[in-house]
Amino acid sequence: MAKELEETVPAGIVVGDDGVARCSWADSTPEYRAYHDTEWGFPVADDRRLFEKLCLEGFQAGLSWLTILRKRDAFREVFANFEFTEVASFGDDRVAALMDDVRIVRNRAKIEATINNAQRAIELVQQEGSLAHFLWGYELEGRATALTREDLPTTTAEARALAKEFKRRGWRFLGPTTVYAFMEAMGLVNDHIDGCHCRPAVDAARAKFTRP
């Protein structure tokens, strides 16, 4: 059955040993499979989760997402579950402790950027009402469905505009490509490609989602 399905799915789709068709990047490891099936692309309005993903995308720069995904629980532990009101108060002693923690990516610039961005997140919430309200103002609407993963962009005008606004507000490690990866993951666009079993589920979730 899986072999028959594999012969009919479009390029950029793989059929797992469970017979399920997924985006090709999603079936290389159990971690990717679970992340793809339950998280990636489903819309998120929770400020803590949005801030976490922005931070982890920054840590990913120059690395694979799998590396970050496998360290995510440790990141959550040492960064106060990404409650930005707490992270904003981290001082030099906390930075030093983080630099000694082998469970996370020990990059001082990225660690300091996370603390800076937590401070900027507090300011943004004061100005915009919530992080979610601000971010969902950059949602992509009405783009034609891509046929293959290769057809998808690495960034868009919306992502470039959001990255520019982040920079203006003093955020760090959030360039256009990083921002677009965040938008894909948090459901601001549905980039599950045609033939992926998650695409209609994400479309349905986005249709029911109440924009903040």
Provide the pLDDT confidence category of residue 141 given band limits of 50, 70 and 90.
confident
Q: Using the structure block, give the residue that is written with the tokens 């017979």.
A: 19
Q: Indicate the range of 3-12, 65-74, 78-87, 112-121 predicted with least confidence.
A: 3-12
> What are the structural domains, with CATH classification, of the chain?
47-187 (1.10.340.30)
Residue positions annotated with a catalytic role:
35, 57, 65
Whole-angstrom Cα distance, residue 144 to residue 160?
19
Say if CB 157 and CB 203 are below 8 A apart.
no
**Is pLDDT of 113 > 60?**
yes
**Is pLDDT of 184 > 50?**
yes
What does the pLDDT read at residue 149? 72
**Is pLDDT of 83 > 90?**
yes
What does the pLDDT read at residue 56? 98
Q: How far is CA 170 from CA 92, 158, 160, 175, in A?
A: 20, 18, 15, 12
